[in-house]
Structure 1
Amino acid sequence: MTGPLLSPADLVVRREHGDLVILDATVALEAPRHDGDHRSSSGRPGWEQAHIPGSRHADLLHDLSDPSAPYHFARPSAGVLAARLAERGVRDGVPVVAYDRAGGIWAARLWWLLDWLGVEAYVLDGGLSAWRAAGLPVTATATAEHADLVPAPLRTPVVRDGRWVGREDLKRWLAEDVQATVLCALSPEAYAGEVPTRYSRRGHIPGTGNVPARSLLGPDGRFRPEPELRRMLGDLLADPAPIWLYCGGGISAATLGLALTVLGRDDVALYDGSLQEWSADPELPIELGR
C-alpha cells in the first residue's frame, strides 16, 4: 500500500536517509459506563513507559485542540496549530510520522491535522505494536522530553480547503440544499444507539450511512490490504458526491478519511464537532436503529 501509510521497515529506511519528526498521538479514552460519560486523559504517561526512540508525544487532548470549544478535540486555528506543532519539533521541509498505541485512530487524527496545514505527513501502519512486532527497539523516559529543543516557527500555513464541514453544513444537507454522502464511522452498535454513549444522546444523524472505521483494520491494528479495502469501500470510491464523515469527536472519522485518501479520494471532509456537538443541541434530530 502506498501514500501516507508507512510500514516499520519504511520508517527505518526513511530515518536512515533523512531527517524526520516522529510523534506519538495516543490519547487514553475509556469506554463509557453510562450515557454522557466522556473520560479521556493524556497518553503521555504511556509514551514515557515505551516509545519509538527519538519520538515526542503530541497531546491531541490539550495542546493540539481548542480549549474554548464546547466539545473535546476541536481543531484550533491554523496559526495556533502550527505554533503548537513547532513546539513538538515540526518544522518546514521535514516530514512528520504519526503513530499511536491504540489501533491507529489517534495517529490518523494527527495526520489529518498535519495534512490540513500542508505538512508532509505519514502514519506508521499498526503503530507501536507493529514496530515492536518487527523486533525494533523502544525506549522509556521519565525526564523532560527533548529539553534542548528550540522551536522553529512554521511558515504561515496554507491550509487545504474542503477538509472540514460544520453543523450548518449538515443542516443544509438535511434540508437537501447541498449534495454529499454523509457517513458515521462509529461501530454499528453506537450508530444504532444500542450501547452507552459518551455524548448527550444516542444514535446518529438521520439519513447518514455507517462505515465503522475499525472494520478497516485487521487484528494486528494495520489497515487491511489495499484490494480488500477497495472491495469494502468500492461504492464510495465511485460515488460522484463529496464525502462527509463524522463520528463522536472527529477521531474515528479521520481513520475512515485516511483510508479513503489512501485509495485516491481527495474530496473528503470531516465534521469536527461530530456527535459531541450535534447531540448536545436538543433541536437537532437524532435517529436510532441500523
Structure 2
Amino acid sequence: MTVTTTVSELRDLLASGAPPVVLDARWALGDPHGRDHYAEGHIPGAVYVDLDTELAAPPSPEGGRHPLPGLAELQDMARRWGIRRGQQVVVHDDLGNTAAARAWWLLRHAGLTRVTLLDGALDAWRSAGLPLESGIPATPPPGDVVLGSGGLPVTDADGAAELAGSGLLLDARAAERYRGEVEPVDPRAGHIPGAVSAPTGENLAPDGTFLPAEELRKRFEEKGAAQAARIGVYCGSGVTAAHQIAALEIAGFEAALFPGSWSAWSADPTRPAVKGIHP
C-alpha cells in the first residue's frame, strides 16, 4: 500500500477532477501555535487539524499524553475536514511528517486505504516553488466518510512488554531520552526493558523525505526486524511512533502501535524502567 505522495504528484492531483483532501497537521513539542503557522501560509485548500484536540483524546495517566480519539469522534472530525467516501487524503506537517503521521495512522487504522504522507512535508512544497495561501479558509463542505477500526494493529502496555521479550519493540524517541539522560515531559526517564532504540529522525534523508525503501529495510533489519515474528513501536506519546510505523511499512514490515507509549508506561509505578544504551 502506498505510504507517500510526492510534491509533483500532489500538484497534479489538486489540478485534477478528483482532488484529494489535504490535511495540515503542523505540531511540535513545545510549540502550541500550529494554527497560527498554518494561517501564515499553507497549501491552497488544505484543512488544518489540531493534534492535541482532534487527533487525540484528553490526556490521562492511563492513556498517556495523546490517547487515541474514539471512533465516533474521529468520524465526526473526518467529516468536518471534508473527507468523502473513497476520496484520497494527503497529510503533512512542517517537521518531516513526524506529527502528521498520527493523522495518517489514525485514518489508516480506521480503514481508509487512500491516505498518504506528503514526502518531504511542507518544506518540499516550498522548495518546489509552489504557491501558498494565507488566512483561515472557509469550512469545507461536510464529508460523508464512514470509518471503522482494525486497519492497523495496536498493542497496550502488557503487549508492549511481551513484544520486548518475544518479538521486537522499537523505541522511536531521541537516543538521549531512550538512554534516560534527559526526560523533558514524562514522569520518569529511561526506556521499556528489552526495547531497542530506533530514533524516528533516522528514517529521513537530509531534505526531510523518507529514506529509500532499501535503506529503511537495512536500518530495521539491523535492529532485528527480519527475525522478529512481531514488531511493536512506542515513543513519548504515540505520535512519532506512527512515523516509525510508516517507515516500517515502506521497508516491508508491519508493526503495532503502543498509543500510550512512554508517557503512560512511566506514569505507572509498577512498570520497570531501564537506563543506558542496552535494551
Deviations, residues 199-231 of structure 1 (Å, cap 9, x unaligned): 000010011111111011122111122232222
Choose the corresponding residue for 1:207, options 194, 201, 214. Answer: 194
- Asked if 1 retains the 8 angstrom alpha-carbon contact of 2:235 and 2:241, the reply is yes
- Aligned partner of 2:168 in structure 1 is 181
Counterpart CA distance in 2 for 1:84 and 1:42 is: 20
- Asked if 1 retains the 8 angstrom alpha-carbon contact of 2:5 and 2:116, the reply is yes
- Asked if 2 retains the 8 angstrom alpha-carbon contact of 1:193 and 1:203, the reply is yes
Unaligned runs of at least 5 residues, structure 2: none
Post-superposition, which runs of at least 4 consecutive aligned residues in structure 1 deviate over 3 A?
171-174
Structure-1-length-normalised TM-score = 0.88
- Aligned partner of 1:248 in structure 2 is 236
Choose the corresponding residue for 2:101, options 105, 108, 111. Answer: 108
Counterpart CA distance in 1 for 2:79 and 2:242 is: 22
Choose the corresponding residue for 1:228, options 195, 198, 215. Answer: 215
Deviation at 1:16, TM superposition (A): 2.5
Structure 2 CA distance for partners of 1:217 and 1:150, relative to 1, 3 Å: same
Pair 1:284-2:271 in alignment = yes
Structure-2-length-normalised TM-score = 0.91
Q: How many residues align?
A: 272
Unaligned runs of at least 5 residues, structure 1: 31-39
Counterpart CA distance in 1 for 2:157 and 2:218 is: 31
Secondary structure in 1 matching 2:178 = helix
- Aligned partner of 1:168 in structure 2 is 158
Counterpart CA distance in 2 for 1:265 and 1:16 is: 33
- Aligned partner of 1:10 in structure 2 is 9
- Asked if 1 retains the 8 angstrom alpha-carbon contact of 2:108 and 2:152, the reply is no
- Aligned partner of 1:82 in structure 2 is 75
Per mean C-alpha deviation after superposition, the further-off stretch among 216-225 and 240-249 is 216-225
Structure 2 CA distance for partners of 1:73 and 1:211, relative to 1, 3 Å: same
Deviation at 1:123, TM superposition (A): 0.3
Deviation at 1:51, TM superposition (A): 0.6
Counterpart CA distance in 2 for 1:8 and 1:184 is: 30
Deviation at 1:138, TM superposition (A): 0.9
Structure 2 CA distance for partners of 1:162 and 1:94, relative to 1, 3 Å: closer
Deviations, residues 250-280 of structure 1 (Å, cap 9, x unaligned): 11211111011112223x1110000110101
- Asked if 1 retains the 8 angstrom alpha-carbon contact of 2:28 and 2:99, the reply is no
- Asked if 2 retains the 8 angstrom alpha-carbon contact of 1:237 and 1:260, the reply is no
- Aligned partner of 1:65 in structure 2 is 56
Q: Calculate the aligned-residue CA RMSD, in Å.
A: 1.9
Per mean C-alpha deviation after superposition, the further-off stretch among 187-196 and 11-20 is 11-20
Deviations, residues 62-92 of structure 1 (Å, cap 9, x unaligned): 1221126443221112222111111111221
Pair 1:134-2:134 in alignment = no
Secondary structure in 1 matching 2:125 = helix
Map 1:137-148 → 2, pairs under 5 A: 137-141=131-135, 143=136, 145-147=137-139
- Asked if 2 retains the 8 angstrom alpha-carbon contact of 1:99 and 1:127, the reply is yes
Deviation at 1:159, TM superposition (A): 1.6
Deviation at 1:288, TM superposition (A): 0.4
Counterpart CA distance in 2 for 1:55 and 1:219 is: 25
Identity, % of aligned positions: 34
